[in-house]
Structure 1
Amino acid sequence: MIKALFTPALLSAALISGSALAADYDIDPAHTTVLFKINHLGFSETVGRFNTFNGSYSYDEAKPSASAIEVTIDAESLDTNHDARDKHIKSPDFLDTKQYPEITFKSKGYKGSATQGTLTGELTLHGVTKDVNLAITKVGEGKDPWGNYRSGFNGSVTIKREEFGVDQMLGGIGNDVTIELFVEGIRK
């Protein structure tokens, strides 16, 4: 469930970044966050994140539809700020991270402008691959104080966890998982 939430968001954020010419970027894990939230008992939303991931993307501001991104998330890096809950989510009841240690996203296409659009790609979570659509918004780009060129963007997607085979406790825990991405990349 948590895997599915983070992966799409990370991927969409990375794809939307722009530059004057076609360029390749590495996702900067120190300045990127993949969050997810899910309803808990109809009373509140539980928020979590994945702490370990890597990925890269290419983007051409003149031709955004040619952009591409790939992201891999370490499912064991799930963190909801509660050890017992994290252990349960990583168990076979939910993400089964021993059997499915990675969550991946690979883009298939992008529609929109250089600053806003929809990123489509394949999200693989819990051994199931599904197409997802992420809403992406570019935040900015330019040189940092150390001479690197960076781009940043936000993205979001809501998935149904049962579609990825994560269907335990649907009565008490929501089926919809919202993934929010806050991505920063460094041009190679």
Structure 2
Amino acid sequence: MKKRLISAAILAASLVTSANAADYVVDDKGAHAAINFKVKHLGYSWLTGRFNVFDGKFSYDEKNIESSKISINIDPNSIDSNHAERDKHLRSGDFLDVSKFKTAKFESTKIVDKGNGKLAITGDFTMHGVTKSIVIDAEKIGAGDDPWGGYRAGFSGTTKIAMKDFGFKMDFGDVLLDLHVEGIRQ
């Protein structure tokens, strides 16, 4: 009898814990998410742009943030620097080589609650056929009911990657990434 009570208590505790976690799909269709970048152009100015096509999902548990997870898929062919000829060059073998590397991906491996809505999200980032661990400094922006009867949560974050770490033929140094993610609870 005692073993049954302990088993029931453990099961109840795990159900309560998992009930706090919520799964979200990134709202890439409603333009409520963005993956922006900037990189120095020849050391003279900033080149800015974005990736227009990506998707992802995340699980967020406010009571146990360390158990949260995020996964994002990026189509490198969707790079958009607001200049068609430059975008063609960025898609070439000098940079993204999109004919060979059709996808980029971020998969979280650890999330640390830094307090006051601040998070450190560590994960594996794969681009140009190379996977490196990166840390995204993130912040919870807010969460709540939306006008369409759903529930949303939003975060923003920044990180930087070194072009040389990902094997690009041309290297202009660090790429600064500015990330905005709004998810719709499932």
Same fold (TM over 0.5): yes
Residue deviations 1:60-118, cap 9 Å, x none?
A: 00000001111100111100000000000000111101100101010001011471120
Q: Match of 1:31, SS?
A: coil
Correspondence for 1:77: 78
Alpha-carbon distance, 1:166 to partner:
1.2
Correspondence for 1:128: 130
What is the distance in 1 between the residues matched to 2:73 and 2:116?
24
What is the distance in 2 between the residues matched to 1:54 and 1:27?
6
Correspondence for 2:56: 55
Amino acid at match of 1:108: T
The question of 1:119 aligning with 2:118 is answered: no
Q: Match of 1:38, SS?
A: strand
Q: Tell me if the contact between 2:40 and 2:47 (Cα under 8 Å) persists in the aligned partners.
A: yes
Residue deviations 1:3-42, cap 9 Å, x none?
A: xxxxxxxxxxxxxxxxx92100000012101100000122
Alpha-carbon distance, 1:153 to partner:
1.1
What is the distance in 2 between the residues matched to 1:32 and 1:147?
19
Aligned counterparts, 1:1-188, within 5 A: 21-29=20-28, 30-112=31-113, 113=115, 115-168=117-170, 170=171, 174-188=172-186
Runs of at least 4 residues off by over 4 Å: none
Q: Identify unmatched segments of 5+ residues in structure 2.
A: 1-18
TM, length-normalised to structure 1:
0.85
Alpha-carbon distance, 1:167 to partner:
3.9
Amino acid at match of 2:128: H
Q: Match of 2:20, SS?
A: coil
What is the distance in 2 between the residues matched to 1:146 and 1:93?
44
- Higher RCO (CA 8 Å, separation ≥ 6 residues): 1
Residue deviations 1:97-143, cap 9 Å, x none?
A: 11001010100010114711200000000000000000001111000
Report the identity percentage: 45
Aligned CA-pair RMSD: 1.2
TM, length-normalised to structure 2:
0.86
What is the distance in 2 between the residues matched to 1:39 and 1:71?
25
Q: Match of 1:61, SS?
A: coil
What is the distance in 2 between the residues matched to 1:25 and 1:185?
5
Q: Match of 2:147, SS?
A: coil
Alpha-carbon distance, 1:183 to partner:
1.1
Amino acid at match of 2:24: Y
Which of these two proteins has the greater Rg computed from alpha carbons? 2
Q: Identify unmatched segments of 5+ residues in structure 1.
A: 1-19
What is the distance in 1 between the residues matched to 2:39 and 2:151?
35
> How many matched pairs?
165
What is the distance in 2 between the residues matched to 1:96 and 1:167?
10
What is the distance in 1 between the residues matched to 2:144 and 2:137?
22
Q: Match of 1:46, SS?
A: strand
